[in-house]
Amino acid sequence: MFSISEIKSLTKAVVLQGTLKGRFKRITINSKEVCPGDLFIAIKGGRFDGHRFISEAIKKGAVACLVSSKGVKAPKRAVLFYVPDTEKALGFIARGYRQRFDIPVIAITGSAGKTTTKDMVASVLSARYSVLSNLGSQNNQIGVPLTLLKLTKKIDVAVIEMGTNQPGDIKWLTSIALPDMSILTNIGASHLAKLKSKPAVFREKLNLVKGLAAKGTVIFNRDDPFLVKIPLLVKGRSFISYGVKSRAKFQARHIILQANRSLQFSVDNKKYVLSSPVQANVYNALSAIICGRLFSISFNNIYKKIKKASIPKGRQQIKKVGRIWLIDDTYNANPVSFRSALNTLSDFKACGRRILVCSDMKELGASSHLWHKTIGRDIGKSNIDYVLAWGKAAKHIVSAARPKKDKGQVYHFEKRFELHKKVRSLCRDHDVILVKGSHSMQMGKTVDFILKHFKK
Ligand SMILES: Nc1ncnc2c1ncn2[C@@H]1O[C@H](COP(=O)(O)OP(=O)(O)O)[C@@H](O)[C@H]1O
Ligand SMILES: [Mg+2]
């Protein structure tokens, strides 16, 4: 993969011990996964500090370790490098590696829909090409470089999801992945703890467009009031818009929710089918259709891949549990995805009642209560029959929804087990239950509870 001296020059590392001879095949940051001949990069994470596993890595055969602490002790047989920031060094190495491959890289960012879009784009392109894409949601300063380090000569195109939770993240990831194309899904109140406001989220995501290769292609959602401004703000790129409401170059029209809970829609007078009733997925599919067209994939193949597209786990996945319908949206929550979930629940065709089981949206900073209230007001105006909420911030959802609903329709619980008790006593055959909350609220436990109690 690299010679040890190449690593030194890419990262500007200082050699603490050993000689710079030899090469290694792989880079790993997890000591458990080290194989003989690897370079081990010690990264300080939230839960683990890789520096504590140096001797384990060397025991397993690591030939060199990159560290950000000068006091590390290691057997003399291994090369030890020092850099002030190993996470940054991983990025520099990944950039150096990516530069060896003359292939198109498509980068995806936005407040919601990145993973679903990434999977749909990768799936459509796989009809004709060998595609590399992030595993799951590995979209941060560690996940993106590790994904790029999986490039091989066999890969024709890379589809890279990029996330951000602080200013500068997207600029950095763009400088590593060096994309030729970008997809921007939407701008909303995401990661406001550090990004502060929606305009700041937009400025952050715009760095993907600014950092694109010259004459790069920008695929953007024209229905989004921020993204629609992109062509006015950045020059020297080609722009392809998509949307549902506005007159975009690729506009989905005649969207029909079919009896079997699939969606039919047409683009450029061609019909497509998505086996999901979630309208937001039409936007994600539009990006995939555009990429398919740009990469000369036949209509038949695009059609088949879109129809078969599987929705990633916990992103408004629909399941029949006994005689009730469950919409599992427990992967995450922010105001953009919450609105999308409310639309799905409101439009859902079921003979029973619509029940929302929800918890907090995290990382919304100082305006968190206002965002919860906004969502609560939307629920108040909707046709949702019951709201069962749990969590501190979710109290604001309840207080804003309650005035518009009847007595006995809106509940807040202090404890998860109380929420579960109510779910059990309230839900009956043919109801549809949507479960949503931020990842850290672990609403998957509530999904497990529902699966256990309603499976017949
Ligand atoms: N285009 C979209 N617009 C709004 N919400 C979406 C969109 N696509 C997916 N979602 C919802 O956003 C949440 C996260 O989806 P995901 O694809 O994992 O996005 P991300 O990778 O940006 O977090 C889920 O609740 C999902 O249903
Ligand atoms: Mg994601």
Residue 339 confidence (pLDDT): 97
Instruction: Check if 283 has its Cβ closer than 6 Å to any atom of ligand 1.
Output: yes
CA of 142 to the centre of ligand 2 (A): 14
Co-location of 32 and 110 in the same domain: no
- Ligand 1 atom nearest the C-alpha of 278 is 27
CATH of the domain at 72: 3.40.1390.10
Amino acid letter at 69? S
- Domain of 353, CATH number, reads 3.90.190.20
Both 278 and 144 in a single domain? yes
Measure Cα distances from 447 to 250, 410, 436, 437 in Å. Answer: 36, 20, 9, 11
Q: Relative to the CA of 111, which ligand 1 atom is closest?
A: 22
Nearest ligand, CA of residue 143?
2
- Whether 190 is covered by a domain: the verdict is yes
Measured from the alpha carbon of residue 116, the closest ligand is 1
Instruction: Check which CATH number belongs to the domain holding 203 and give it.
Output: 3.40.1190.10
Whether residues 108 and 239 fall in one domain: yes
Residue 252 sits in the same domain as residue 352: no
Q: Which ligand is nearest to the CA of 312?
A: 1
Residues 221 and 329 reside in one and the same domain: no
Is the CB of 438 inside a 6 Å radius of any atom of ligand 1?
no
Residues 355 and 281 in one domain: no
For 354-403, give the DSSP string. EEEEE-PPP--GGGHHHHHHHHHHHHHHS---EEEEESTTHHHHHHHHGG
pTM summary value: 0.96
Q: Between the CA of residue 214 and those of 179, 180, 211, 234, what are the distances in Å? A: 10, 8, 9, 11
Same domain, 205 and 177: yes
Domain boundary (308, 341, 372) is at: 308
Report if residue 333 sits inside a domain.
Answer: yes
> Do 370 and 242 fall into the same domain?
no
Shared domain for 334 and 374, answered yes or no, is yes
Q: For a substitution probing ligand 1, which of 242, 289, 337, 439 has the most ligand atoms within 8 Å of its CB?
A: 337
Do residues 170 and 80 share a domain? no
Instruction: Provide the pLDDT for residue 252.
Output: 98
Position 256 in a domain: yes
Block means of pLDDT (10 residues each) for the chain, 456 residues, are: 90 91 90 94 90 94 93 88 96 97 98 98 98 96 97 98 96 98 96 92 97 95 98 96 96 95 96 96 98 98 96 96 97 97 95 97 95 98 98 98 95 97 96 98 98 90
Does residue 293 sit within a domain? yes
> How many whole angstroms from 49 Cα to the centroid of ligand 1?
31
Query: Could you give the 3-state DSSP secondary structure of residue 103?
Result: coil
- For 402, the token pair is 């309650």
220 lines ligand 1 (CB under 6 A): no
- Out of 332, 434, 440, give the residue to mutate to test ligand 1, the one with the largest number of ligand atoms within 8 Å of its CB: 332
Tokens (6 digits) for 449: 């509870």
Number of structural domains the chain divides into = 3
Residue 181 in any domain: the answer is yes
Residue 219: how many other CB atoms lie within 10 Å: 25
- In this structure, the answer to whether residues 184 and 293 fall within a common structural domain is yes
| Domain encompassing residue 376 | 317-454
